[in-house]
Amino acid sequence: MEEVDGNTVIARALKQQGVDFVFGIVGYPVIELSMAMQMADIHYIGMRNEQAACYAAQAMGYLTGKPAACLVVSGPGLLHTFGGLANAQINCWPVLVIGGSAPQDHEGIGGFQECNQVELARPYCKYAARPPTIPLIPMHVEKAVRLTKNGRPGAAYLDFPANILSGRVEESSVSPYYGPTPPPLIYPNPSDIQTAVDLITQASRPLVIVGKGAAYARAEATVRDLIDSTNLPFLATPMGKGVVPDASPKCVQPARSTALQKADVVLLLGARLNWILHFGRPPRYSPDAKVIQIDLSAEELNTSVKSAVAIQSDLRVAVEQIVAGLKKRNFTYSSQNEWWQVLERKCQDNRRTVQAMAADESVPLNYYTVFHNLYQHLPDNCIIVSEGANTMDIGRTMLFNNQPRNRLDAGTFGTMGVGPGFAIAAALYCRHHEPTKRVICVEGDSAFGFSGMEIETMVRYKLPIIIVVVNNSGIYTGMEPEAFKNLRDSTELEDIAKITPPSCLSSATRYDNMMNLFGKPGFFVNTIPELKLAIKSALKIEDSPTIINVIISTTADRKPQQFHWLSESKL
């Protein structure tokens, strides 16, 4: 009888489940497994850090709607993925982590990198298991992949001891390789849809909030129909941007605080009332606001506040039915209503403030000037990856998205270090699905430091990612170059760690010179003309990444906010 080893069974099972990409770092005991994956016609992307590999895999899961895999070695290799596992689980993105582990006959006696991996992974994922035999591997792979997609998407972990990977069995003994099954389609309660339609038509100050769940659900056509046919004002959460174009005249993002504070009916489409939306509570919302909540996950309904109507449903189905109900009543929210007038005035006021800041080209530059000019010179509908503190937050308001799933950022968990991994996944996605689209990775200098060596991965796989480092020489704020030099020159070596401000990084670090390591060009920018030239030059590079290092004021900040960005607990 013909025999097959565990590595081959895993690779075949993954391919049967529709897993097309694996990101990872190889070593004992998974080197042969990575090769078996390539032999099974799976793309293997070798990364430089396990966290970044997991970030890339989950971003690919979000962009495609099916999980990619992350392959890591035993012990520390798996432990390094936990930041990524937790991020995927909290972001609700599908990903499958596959870890090698110590041989079973070495367990309990101090085996190499011996670690209780399944139990350690369990808090960070929906499903964690170790297939006990080679013949049962396809069953566990199918279950893990299915659970990453069904219900609230998330993470799964499968553990493979070295002896299972290298062991051999008769091929006829292996359980069947099932193909992937689509997630079940959940329909809403008709009476809930009717209640939602009643609330919308009776609202004086309605507001639609479009969340990341709407983007993941591929609900853009339906949500756009809702907004276009009703003339309702809308906001988007950071990764809900583009489901309805940011450029839509019905987008009231510049009046966000006013819209949230004064709305009397809020239609929540695939967004959670967590810290990003200030928990749905006063003072950010009216105490009398009625929330219509649509979410795939029943556990998410009525969290933080009691919804006026909570609808568990596939988002597209629920919105289609709401649109049908509103059209049946010939409902359109008039632009002449006082609510629209309030929102438009606030939008205009805030735009004037931002435009004034964006027009200031004095050196050192500020965030608004950099983002305004960056956006003006980018091709339409780039995928924009962004992370950092002010870099990410201000970028949300200045770098528009007019297509869904075209923004990837730190997300619900606020995780730093995700940018390069996300960008690698996005560039690979574009290569296979939208080859004319470009990926722009906008990084704060602090955020870039977490995963900056993934630039080598980008070079190796010829990914034309443009990395823009918005460099203020610090975390939140840095020090002026002269002040930084004087501090270092005047401080004794034994005292330097006591004196250097905790948020301070090296002054005006030349991240662009990293491209010299690979014989590729980078760009150092101090002025707007230099920025425009750098963007133009970078867009001509189609077979490798590049870095545009933009030096801004060390004290550059966002415009004054009506509220602190994070609603503080009153407990």
Amino acid letter, residue 420: P
Instruction: Dump the DSSP string for 313-361.
Output: S-HHHHHHHHHHHHHHTT----TTSHHHHHHHHHHHHHHHHHHHHHT--
Determine the pLDDT at residue 223.
98
Q: Could you report the per-residue pLDDT of 355-381, keeping only the tens digit for each?
A: 999 999 999 999 999 999 999 999 999
Token pair recorded at residue 409: 């950022």
pLDDT band at 559 (very low <50, low <70, confident <90, very high): confident
- Lowest mean per-residue pLDDT among 31-40, 126-135, 553-562: 553-562
Question: What's the pTM?
Answer: 0.96
DSSP state of 245: -
* Rounded Cα distance, 538 and 532, in Å: 10
Higher pLDDT among residues 114 and 562, named by residue: 114
DSSP state of 68: E
Which percentage of the chain shows pLDDT scores above 70? 98
Contact 127, 119 (CB under 8 A): no
Q: Could you report the per-residue pLDDT of 343-357, keeping only the tens digit for each?
A: 999 999 999 999 999
Determine the pLDDT at residue 494.
87
Q: Which residues of 348-373 are buried (b: 16+ CB within 10 A; e: fewer)?
A: eebeeebeebbeeeeebbbbbbbbbb
β-pairing verdict for 168-170 and 3-5: antiparallel
Contact 473, 539 (CB under 8 A): no
Task: Kindly give, in sequence order, each residue whose CB lies less than 8 Å from that of residue 349, ignoring residues fewer than 6 positions away.
Answer: none
Contact 386, 396 (CB under 8 A): yes
Mean pLDDT of 127-133: 97
Task: Kindly give, in sequence order, each residue whose CB lies less than 8 Å from that of residue 394, ignoring residues fewer than 6 positions away.
Answer: 367, 368, 371, 558
Nearest alpha-carbon partner for 430 in 403, 392, 394: 403
Phi, psi of 548 (to 5 degrees): -110, 110
What value does the mean pLDDT of the chain take?
A: 95
Token pair recorded at residue 206: 């309605």
Mean pLDDT of 137-141: 97
Contact 257, 397 (CB under 8 A): no
Helix (H) or strand (E) holding 117: helix 117-121
Q: Is the confidence at residue 567, as pLDDT, over 70? A: no
**Can you tell me whether residue 265 is helix, strand or coil?**
strand
Q: Could you report the per-residue pLDDT of 313-327, keeping only the tens digit for each?
A: 999 999 999 999 999
Q: Could you report the per-residue pLDDT of 235-282, keeping only the tens digit for each?
A: 999 999 999 999 999 999 999 999 999 999 999 999 999 999 999 999
Determine the pLDDT at residue 178.
84
Token pair recorded at residue 382: 């780039």
Determine the pLDDT at residue 563.
45
Q: Is the confidence at residue 466, as pLDDT, over 60? A: yes
Q: Could you report the per-residue pLDDT of 42-55, keeping only the tens digit for each?
A: 999 999 999 999 99
**Can you tell me whether residue 555 is helix, strand or coil?**
coil
* Rounded Cα distance, 83 and 261, in Å: 34
Contact 440, 466 (CB under 8 A): yes
Q: How many residues does the chain have?
A: 571
Question: CB atoms < 10 A from the CB of 163, how many?
Answer: 16
Gap between the terminal Cα atoms of the chain: 68
Distances 170 to 5, 159, 167, 174, 497 between C-alpha atoms, Å: 9, 22, 11, 7, 62
Determine the pLDDT at residue 571.
38
Mean pLDDT of 62-87: 97
Determine the pLDDT at residue 488.
87
pLDDT band at 568 (very low <50, low <70, confident <90, very high): low
Task: Kindly give, in sequence order, each residue whose CB lies less than 8 Å from that of residue 549, ignoring residues fewer than 6 positions away.
Answer: 469, 471, 509, 510, 511, 512, 522, 523, 524, 525
Distances 426 to 33, 119, 240, 280, 432 between C-alpha atoms, Å: 25, 31, 17, 32, 10
Q: Could you report the per-residue pLDDT of 475-516, keeping only the tens digit for each?
A: 989 998 888 889 888 989 889 999 999 999 999 999 999 999
Determine the pLDDT at residue 566.
57
Mean pLDDT of 119-130: 97
pLDDT band at 558 (very low <50, low <70, confident <90, very high): confident
Token pair recorded at residue 25: 């770092």
pLDDT band at 562 (very low <50, low <70, confident <90, very high): very low
Check residue 462 and give left, alpha or beta (phi > 0: left; psi -120 to 50: alpha). Answer: left
Q: By CB neighbour count within 10 A (0-12 exposed, 13-18 middle, 19+ buried), where does 543 fall? A: exposed
**Can you tell me whether residue 288 is helix, strand or coil?**
coil
Determine the pLDDT at residue 1.
72
